[in-house]
Amino acid sequence: MSYINSKYGQHLGNAANRELFVQFLTRIYFEVPNCILAHFSKLKILSGDNFLSFRNFFKAKWKGGFLCPAYTFDNVKGKFPIGFLIWDTKIKEEFNGINLEVFNAKGDLIEMKHLYNYDTETSINKWLISTRNRMDESNIGFMSYTGNVFQTNNQIFIKNDIKNMVMPRGTWITDKNIIEVSVYFSVRKAIPATWTNDRDQFLKPNDGWQTDFEFQNDCLAYTLFSNNIQSENGTNHWMPFTEQEVNAQNRFESHFMTDFINGKIKVENAKDLFGKGTSQNGKREFSEDAKSVFDAGRELWKYYHSKPNGNVNASFYDIREYFQGRNDKGRMNSKSDDKKYMELISELRNKLNFLADKSKPKIYEYEFLKE
């Protein structure tokens, strides 16, 4: 038996170490043929984009293995899985996927997990990039994203402009792709990241989502109350209410979002030419769960606009900053001394969680994720 301790395991995100690790496994594969090969490492070798060519080259029969949390190792704090894997190189088989037992830090078997050999061309990011072909209007924001796995979900956010990004990688948002962006954003945020799903890949969906307008509108509602738009960084096009709904003292600078919701901004999709009806024009109808999010948000906006020194164009981020303030390091505080605000923001977050839970089955049905 050849036993490989991946000393590069904690640094497989580094390109040089990835290359060294692949070279090491390849050398063992050739120099010690027809052996039982065992190694432990992160799961990038089995599912990561950078290891696709290696997976297509490596031919061996899967014999068994298991997963455990990385933080069970000394001096490792990360919440991601480590795989203990055994292969028989005498039997040449293509790697398509494997089933692994998953153990927690106490050694309890908690689930069975299937790992797939993902094709980079089916990634959710490749799907979203294709929506750029339909962008020909003015921008209403920019969504930052990187990577296709749960590990990078905290790097997904929506701001006013690419100029507001430290690392500007993502896509512009317009009236032509706002639904795709909202679907992408919600799919990536609806399911919490855990140590077991840390390396799971988000994928290009099947066509089912295109005519599920309730799902699309649920995603839009979720995104409207989860973005990082700031009025000080440009026009706030993400106002989900009219002035009358929230008792605003002056007119909003932009009415894009309420016009879009009420069907005053027509959306054209090339596929409609073939009669598939994948665009929803006219007033958007929201589910009861989405309506409850709007209701909770409306009460929060009303309370903010009742304050004498508020900004009429305040975004959700601005409202949070107004009530929660910042600490001496410049970070927004997690709570506010205003009890009424805390009640309202808690209610909104609860409704958003319910809406996210409602979307989870559709995420798997439309194959954004594989079970």
One-letter amino acid at 311 equals: N
221-272 confidence digits (pLDDT tens) = 999 999 999 999 999 999 999 999 999 999 999 999 999 999 988 665 545 4
340 three-state secondary structure: helix
Q: What is the pLDDT of residues 97-156, one digit of tens each?
A: 889 999 999 999 999 998 888 776 688 998 998 876 555 557 899 999 888 889 889 889
d(CA 316, CA 297): 9
Structural domain contains residue 113:
yes
**Residue 210 in contact with residue 271, Cβ under 8 Å?**
yes
| Residue span of the structural domain in which 105 resides | 2-117
Dist CA 16 CA 12 (whole Å)? 8
Please tell me the predicted confidence (pLDDT) of residue 270: 43
What's the chain's length in residues? 371
93, 117, 141 - which closes a domain:
117
Per DSSP, the three-state class of 17 is: helix
- Note whether 173 and 140 are within 8 A (CB): yes
Tell which of 97, 117, 137 closes a domain: 117
370 within a domain of the structure (yes/no): no
Residue 243 sits in the same domain as residue 332:
yes
Closest by Cα among 213, 254, 205 to 231: 254
For residue 37, the model assigns a pLDDT of: 82
39 occurs within a structural domain: yes
Tell me: pLDDT of 7 over 50: no
CB 155 within 8 A of CB 144: yes
Q: CA 340, CA 346: separation in Å to the nearest integer? A: 10
Domain check: are 195 and 226 in the same one? yes
Residue with the bigger pLDDT between 20 and 210: it is 210
Point out the domain boundary residue: 56, 90, 117: 117
pLDDT > 60? residue 182: yes
- Residue 137: what pLDDT? 59
Residue 89 lies in a domain: yes
Residue 185 within a domain: yes
Question: Is residue 86, in this structure, part of any structural domain at all?
Answer: yes
pLDDT confidence band for 10 (50 / 70 / 90): very low
Number of structural domains in the chain: 2
Q: What is the CA radius of gyration of the chain?
A: 24
d(C-alpha 5, C-alpha 25), whole Å: 11
The reply to whether 90 falls in a domain is yes
Render 150-165 in DSSP notation, one character per residue.
GGGGGG-EEES-GGG-
pTM comes to 0.86
Residue 321 lies in a domain: yes
Residue 32 pLDDT grade (very low, low, confident, very high; cuts 50, 70, 90): low
The number of CA neighbours under 13 Å toward the Cβ of 360 is 11
- Higher pLDDT, residue 310 or 35: 310
The answer on 168 and 299 residing in a single domain is yes
Q: Are residues 113 and 132 in the same domain?
A: no
Query: Which token pair is 48?
Result: 């990561």
